[in-house]
Structures are given as structure tokens and as C-alpha cells.
Amino acid sequence: MDTTGAGDTMTRMLHALDLKDWASVRREFADMLDMDYTSLFGGAPTRVDADTQVGGWERFAGAFDVTQHITGPIVVSPTADGAIARTHVRAYHRIEGAPGGDVWMVAGHYVITLIRVGQAWKIAGLTLTLLYQEGNPRLREMAQARAASPPSH
């Protein structure tokens, strides 16, 4: 299977996430996703519909003042029903003025399952393997608290 452009799907999704462009994040996903962030957050891998996943990220990632996801290189291999992409990632999360430091950085390795939907590559699964974290890990709880609070008007 020709995998041309498959790796760009992940890059587009992460750029949109960092821009808080949730509609563009959603466009890069298949309708159902296999998500595994257990090495970072614990719990169990889940199968979730993309709208639910994007909504969760909108609340959580959107609660940071800024995020930046840096990946590369992305290595793509064809499979019988799509492609698998692998890449390292550094994900920076910032909350200005947070006690204990403004930045929490997660370093890891992604395995991305991709499928063809029409002419486009779509992300059907993400597995993050945590390598290490630096900075202020309490920013995670601060973002979760912000996400749980009703918006102020």
C-alpha cells in the first residue's frame, strides 16, 4: 500500500491541537479510535468515538495557556489494512505563573495506526509510551481543575 502523506496526518493533528483548532483535530481522526495513554495517565486502553476524544482534549489541552508538540522523524510502514507510523514526541504544556514552574514536558514515543478513508489518511489509534517527564507535573492537575470549572463570563 502506498503510504505517501500518512505521516503528515499526525503532524497536522498536533499542529491543530496546539492551535486549539478542534475542528481540524477532528478532521484527522477516523470515527472510532483506539487510545492508549496508560504509560502516562494509568488506567486501561480505550476505544472511543473521535468526537468524545476531541471534546476531552479540548477541555484538558485547552486548559493550558499553550501547548507545543514536537515530533520526528515520523517513520511509516504499510500494513495489510493501512499503515503504522512511529515517532518520538516532546509535548510541552504551559500555565503561566503556576506554583512550582510554568512548564511540564512529556517525552515519549508514539505508535499511530492509520487507515484510508476515501482519499485521506485518518488516525485510528494512538499509543504513547512515556520515556520521561520534566518540569512541573502538577500542571496536569491544574489543567484538569481548570477543565472541570465552568467557564467564567
pTM for the model: 0.94
Task: Give me the pLDDT at residue 140, please.
Answer: 94
> What sign has the CA pseudo-torsion 57, 76, 130, 49?
positive
Q: Under a CB-based contact definition with an 8 Å cutoff, are residues 110 and 127 in contact?
A: yes
Domains of the chain, first to last: 6-148 (3.10.450.50)
Per-residue b or e along 109-124, where b marks 16 or more CB atoms closer than 10 Å to that residue's CB = ebebbbbbeeeebbbb
Task: Give me the pLDDT at residue 1, please.
Answer: 76
User: Mean pLDDT per segment of 10 residues, for the chain of length 153 residues?
Assistant: 92 98 98 98 97 97 97 96 97 97 98 96 98 97 90 58
Task: Give me the pLDDT at residue 57, please.
Answer: 96
